[in-house]
Amino acid sequence: MRTPENLFDRFEALATGENRAFVVTPAGRTITYAEANATSARLANTLVALGVAIGDRVAVQVEKSPEAILLYLACLRAGAVFLPLNTAYTPNEIDYFLRDAEPKLFVAAPGAKAALEAVARAARVAAIETLGTAGDGSLMERAATQPTAFATAMLDRHDLAAILYTSGTTGRSKGAMLSHENLASNAHVLSYFWRFTAEDVLLHALPIYHTHGLFVATNVILQVGASMLFLPKFDSDQVFALLPRATTMMGVPTFYVRLLDDPRLTREATAHMRLFVSGSAPLLADTHRGFEERTGHAILERYGMTETNMNTSNPYAGDRIAGTVGPSLPGITVRVVNPETGRQLPMGEIGMIEVKGPNVFKGYWRNPEKTKAEFRDDGFFVTGDLGKVDWKGYVTIVGRGKDLVITGGFNVYPKEVESEIDALPGVVESAVIGVPHKDFGEGVTAIVVRATGVTLDEAGILAALQPRLAKFKQPKRVIFVDDLPRNAMGKVQKNVLRVLFERIYD
């Protein structure tokens, strides 16, 4: 007989149905662990009644709500594979995911059902249900008549808990297969490393279709039986109203930039907090320093990705160094190699970051070639991120490998140029990209956001960079924009910029 390895059973307060708060909404609704246990049992019974068996995918495109989290927990209990989809995806994109993942059940937002029903039918999805943000929709109606007990599916630790599609900035998104062990090991290590206890209250303003809001935030809370204040989305007014009741927050850098822009951000406003965590995109060193000056809190930056969960983290006690993502987490090995030879590089040299550990996913859904291409023979996963490790083990990320600019045969790491530009007075932020250039292959190109009212121009920036960067690293052009394009996780979409400016050297 196999030992029970279902992630659900690791969440003790949930599995035993404790009578303490799990999710609290700004409107004042509290869902206790006891209630979460009962409702997720009802939902697990509903899944079984709809024909969902162990290993079947349940695709979900719904707005953030406590019930959506309960549906995730129901999938764990029933041994189904939870497959959340970005709420921004259009029916055309949903068509691709449904055909690729072949879910048994698709759960849509009530208002989107009409547009998505035909898509789901054409993709041969057997069951389509709806779930709204107020506990409404056909799924909860079905669940209402189901029993509040459910025998948790007996699984192997390698069985799949979820498939998360990568954001797919190059080519089509790929489904990252995450096992119960992948999620369990990360929930355990993060809750311990960041010192979460049952007394913690997490301010949760992230989306829940992505690894950050779904697994990092929610699983850590479930691991220790703590509670979360569950905002539909990031909203400064709501955040400032709730900070006095919270102890921790996890955010993307954009959250911290917005908080820092707000005069309400003070030591007093954050006095009840013990920890601010940032990830999913690089936190500017300036933001880190500015936040610490204003609040006394050094934001703790960590690094991870859909495929690997979290890999590194700045320490809880000890130096949280701005611009770094800290050392590898316990039980996880991070190395930096020469991308071509795969050979490990000496300390301090920039190369490809590779990761190995119980956190690393099982491979891409129905894509063995891609899986094979991104794993080394010794089991390390090639992250696609370029970075370096210092003598204390702290990792610094210099950007995605595909964002590397190769100009006249020289490698230019965008982060190095961006850091120089960002340090100039009057610059808010910048993105450096490679744009096709007939002489150089790619021309280093800087896209810059200026502070309002400053007169900084292209010639000024180029002149300021001259003594600071080797000639080949200096931008050939500087283009000013009002904002950098970002996705929902705050990542600058360099692929969008490359398309926008692809002809400037023609």
Where does this chain bind ligand AMP (CB under 6 A)? 166-167, 211, 279-282, 301, 303-306, 325, 383, 385, 397, 400, 489
Distances (CA, A) of 356 to 56, 158, 310, 424: 27, 16, 11, 39
Pinpoint the alpha helices (H) of 123-166.
138-144
Smallest gap, in angstroms, from Cβ of residue 167 to ligand AMP?
5
DSSP string of 188-214, one letter each residue: HHHHHHTT--TT-EEEE-S-SSSHIII
The tokens describing 105, both together, are 């059940």
Residue 185 or 312: the one with the smaller Cβ distance to ligand AMP is 312
Least gap, CB of 400 to ligand AMP (angstroms): 5
Distance, in Å, from the CA atom of 67 to the CA atom of 344, rounded to the nearest integer, reads 46
As measured in angstroms, the least distance from the Cβ of 347 to ligand AMP is 20
Q: How far apart are CA 17 and CA 12, in angstroms?
A: 8
Cα distances (Å, whole numbers) of residue 435 to 89, 419, 485: 28, 19, 17
End-to-end Cα, the chain, rounded Å:
67
* Min dist. Cβ of residue 211 to ligand AMP (A): 5
Locus of tokens 């690894």:
211
Nearest approach, Cβ of residue 175 and ligand AMP (Å): 12
Closer Cβ to ligand AMP, 159 or 385, answer by number: 385
Q: Nearest to residue 162, comparing CAs of 184, 189, 174, 180? A: 180
Measured from the CB atom, the residue of 135 and 414 that comes closer to ligand AMP is: 414
Give the SS3 label for residue 142. Answer: helix
Q: Is 500 helix (H, G, I), strand (E, B) or coil?
A: helix
Taking the least distance from each CB to ligand AMP, the nearer of 8 and 165 is: 165
The token duo for 388 is: 């370096």
Give the residue with the Cβ less far from ligand AMP, 77 or 204: 204
From the CB of 303, what's the least distance to ligand AMP, in Å?
4
Nearer to ligand AMP, 48 or 325 (CB): 325
Q: Which amino acid is at 134?
A: A
Please report how close the Cβ of residue 141 comes to ligand AMP at its closest, in angstroms: 34
Type of residue at 294: R
* Residue 361 DSSP symbol: -
Shortest Å distance, C-beta 493 to ligand AMP:
12
Instruction: Rank residues 74 and 283 by Cβ distance to ligand AMP and give the closer one.
Output: 283
- Tokens linked to 343: 């050979």
The Cα 498–Cα 426 span in angstroms is 24
Residue number, 135 or 282, with CB nearest to ligand AMP:
282
**Least Å distance between CB 327 and ligand AMP?**
13
Beta carbons of 382 and 376 less than 8 angstroms apart: yes
| Nearest to ligand AMP of 146, 186 (CB atom) | 186
Query: Is there a contact between 324 and 303 (Cβ–Cβ < 8 Å)?
Result: no
